[in-house]
């Protein structure tokens, strides 16, 4: 009897040992089926100019004409950098109102008429007509006929929406960051100063950027009537976020811009990230964090 019981115990233990590998495999399958914890969803708000696109300087110089610029410098003793301020001063003559808040990428205040275009009050085409007429009627405003002709070209580069967008090229690092944010399931918005005609042209030229973003996530000054860095623009941004069901929180909501005045005016409910000279290292670290670093490590292997 004892020998029989001993055999039964041996048989029972053998069965347990035989099934252990299968049980381990079973439990490991169950563990794999448990969904991995994903990082918290974030809201990333992108500017366009200097972040996603930028002006190709060589193309712009070709429009102005290298010979014309050389003659301007040699005979008029003026730097080509002087052309933009000359045009600005002329445009300011067209209005009694002055803009003191909205600046260009050089930190200079834009003419009031330019701001009206950015707010969608008048179209780029209408503005170009006004400016061209002013250039013709105010010849004494220019130091020479050369400067006058060059300023006509500068005005076209500002208000001819087709020409303006033809001068733009992609900022690869910025577009890569935008696509990485979308890939990781984050909510992406565009918040930028553009006239309606120019933005429509921009969407045509860069469909791979804007086709990924719903229209409700596009906050363009020419569509909403508010321009950065005016407080009303950021009020509108917060309103849009609420409409989208997004609670503005500096821990999960980020705004990327290349102009310091826009960053300074940004809502305290949003973490503003200043990108200078198209260096996105800081933005990537803050937004993607360890996830971005781990991706880099994987690529090195």
Residue 41: per-residue pLDDT: 87
Three-state secondary-structure class, residue 94:
coil
* 73 pLDDT above the threshold of 70: yes
Residue 40: per-residue pLDDT: 67
* 22 pLDDT above the threshold of 60: no
**Integer Cα distance of 48 and 217 in angstroms:** 13
Query: 248-267: per-residue pLDDT in tens?
Result: 899 999 999 999 999 999 98
**Integer Cα distance of 264 and 271 in angstroms:** 11
Share of the chain above pLDDT 90, in %: 80
Position with higher pLDDT, 288 vs 194:
194
Q: Is domain 43-53+169-292 annotated with CATH 3.40.50.1000?
A: yes
What would the mean pLDDT of 183-193 be, rounded to a whole number?
96
Q: Which sequence spans correspond to the domains of the chain?
A: 43-53+169-292, 57-166
Residue 118: per-residue pLDDT: 98
Position with higher pLDDT, 218 vs 268:
218
User: pTM of the predicted model, to two decimals?
Assistant: 0.82
Query: pLDDT class for 12, splitting at 50, 70, 90?
Result: very low
Half-sphere exposure of 92 toward its Cβ, with a 13 Å CA cutoff? 14
Half-sphere exposure of 99 toward its Cβ, with a 13 Å CA cutoff? 28
**Integer Cα distance of 7 and 13 in angstroms:** 10
């Amino acid at each position: 009897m004892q020998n029989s019981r001993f055999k039964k115990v041996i048989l029972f233990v053998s069965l347990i040992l035989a099934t252990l590998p299968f049980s381990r495999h079973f439990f490991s399958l169950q563990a794999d089926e448990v969904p991995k914890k994903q990082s918290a969803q974030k809201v990333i708000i992108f500017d366009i100019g200097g972040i996603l696109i930028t002006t190709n300087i060589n193309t712009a110089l070709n429009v102005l004409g290298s010979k014309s610029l050389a003659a301007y410098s040699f005979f008029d003793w003026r730097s080509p950098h002087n052309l933009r301020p000359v045009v600005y001063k002329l445009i300011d003559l067209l209005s009694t109102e002055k803009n003191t808040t909205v600046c260009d990428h050089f930190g200079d205040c834009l003419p009031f008429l330019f701001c009206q275009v950015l707010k969608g009050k008048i179209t780029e085409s209408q503005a170009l007509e006004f400016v061209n007429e002013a250039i013709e009627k105010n010849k004494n405003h220019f130091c020479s006929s050369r400067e006058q002709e060059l300023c006509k070209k500068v005005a076209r580069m500002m208000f001819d929406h087709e020409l303006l967008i033809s001068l733009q090229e992609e900022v690869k690092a910025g577009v890569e960051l935008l696509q990485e944010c979308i890939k990781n399931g984050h909510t992406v918005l565009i918040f930028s100063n553009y006239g309606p005609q120019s933005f429509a042209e921009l969407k045509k030229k860069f469909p791979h950027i804007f086709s990924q973003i719903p229209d409700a996530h596009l906050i363009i000054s020419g569509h909403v009537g508010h321009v950065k860095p005016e407080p009303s623009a950021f009020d509108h941004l917060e309103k849009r976020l609420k409409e989208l069901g997004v609670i503005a929180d500096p821990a999960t909501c980020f705004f990327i811009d290349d102009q310091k005045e826009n960053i300074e005016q940004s809502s305290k409910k949003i973490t503003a990230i200043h990108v200078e000279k198209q260096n996105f290292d800081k933005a990537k670290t803050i937004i993607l964090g360890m996830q971005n670093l781990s991706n880099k490590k994987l690529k090195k292997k």
